[in-house]
Amino acid sequence: MSSSERRDGDTPPREPISITDKRRVDPDTGRVREHTPSEPVTPTPQREPDPTTSDAEMHPGDRSGRATDVHPDRVAELTADLQRVQAEYTNYRRRIERDRHLAVEAATASVAARFLGILDDLDRAREHGDLESGPLRAIAAKLGAILSGLGVEGFGEEGDPFDPTLHEAVQHEGAGSDPVVGTVLRRGYTFGDGKVLRTATVTVVEGDDPPGKEDHR
């Protein structure tokens, strides 16, 4: 309505008033507002980085996309570090396994050594025929089975080739060569993979030289 059309005394129309609440904290909920009620929220589109643009010319938001690029030398260095750590861990596990195996063997040897005196008594009883029957025979069989399960084996028989690493000679007979075990005074024992638990105490008999051997000396 123009001024000429207004009648005298009429109040001119007012423009509508828009009030924008720009307070960051909502007075009703007490929470921080993400945006003012009157401002529309428009998502900011992500701009694809230009491969020809240098890092200095890139927008700070685009520069993070290239932060994941790693120099090949750095990759090789990290790969070498990982391989070294894996090798150290493998050696550590082997060392632990070896130490555990040695500890088990040492414990087995310590336990078995305590029974050797009983085995010697049973051998003497066997020589006198006391193990042919009766409860002592059953005890000897059970003890032998237990020690055999632990890997303990006896050795030392008459006629075996003499081996100074296995036999302890207390007497020598004869003047020939090729010494062999004569009398077994006390049997020897091994355990595990052939480790000597106790040497055998024996007498040694040296056989006669075969004919013609002296001619080749």
- Sheet of 177-186: strand order equals 167-173, 200-207, 177-186
Question: Which residue ranges of the chain lie beneath pLDDT 70?
Answer: 1-25, 27, 30-70, 175-176, 207-217
Question: pLDDT value at position 217?
Answer: 43
Q: Which two tokens stand for residue 217?
A: 């000396």
pTM as predicted: 0.54
Handedness of CA 56, 58, 64, 65 (dihedral sign): negative
Q: Which two tokens stand for residue 65?
A: 């996309």
Q: Which of 207, 204, 208, 200 is nearest to 171 (CA)?
A: 204
Question: pLDDT value at position 7?
Answer: 53
- CATH architecture for segment(s) 151-209: Roll (2.30)
Question: pLDDT value at position 216?
Answer: 46
Instruction: Let me know: does 190 contact 207? Beta carbons within 8 Å.
Output: no
Question: pLDDT value at position 47?
Answer: 59
Question: pLDDT value at position 10?
Answer: 57
Q: What is the pLDDT of residues 137-153, one digit of tens each?
A: 899 999 999 999 888 99
Contacts of 42 (CB under 8 A, 6+ apart): none
Residue located via tokens 């130490």: 99
Domain boundaries, the chain: 115-150, 151-209
Q: Which two tokens stand for residue 82?
A: 């990982």
Q: How many CB atoms are located within 10 Å of the residue 151 CB? A: 17
Instruction: Let me know: does 121 contact 143? Beta carbons within 8 Å.
Output: no
Contacts of 43 (CB under 8 A, 6+ apart): none
Question: pLDDT value at position 60?
Answer: 53
Q: How many CB atoms are located within 10 Å of the residue 137 CB? A: 15
Q: Which of 187, 190, 189, 183 is nearest to 204 (CA)?
A: 183
